[in-house]
A = this chain, B = another copy of it.
Amino acid sequence: MPLWNIYHPEGTFEDNASKEALSKDITSFYHDGGAALPKFYVIVNFIKLPQNDMYIGGRPNTGTPFIRLKIDHIAVTLPNEDEVYNSVTARIEEALKPHIADKGYDWEFHVDETERRLWRVQGFNPPPHKSEGEKLWRELNKAVPWEEESK
Contact = CB atoms under 8 A, between A and B. Distances in A.
A111 B74 CA distance: 9
A57 B141 contact: yes
B109 A112 contact: no
The A interface, classified by DSSP as helix, strand, loop or mixed, is mixed
A135 interface: no
Q: This chain: how many copies in the complex?
A: 3
Given A93-B120, A110-B118, A114-B110, A57 B42 contact: yes
A58 B86 CA distance: 25
Interface residues of A, number: 66
Interface of A: 1, 3, 7, 16, 19-20, 23-24, 26-28, 31, 38-49, 52-60, 66, 68, 70, 72, 74, 78, 82, 85-86, 88-89, 92-93, 101, 106-115, 117-123, 125, 141
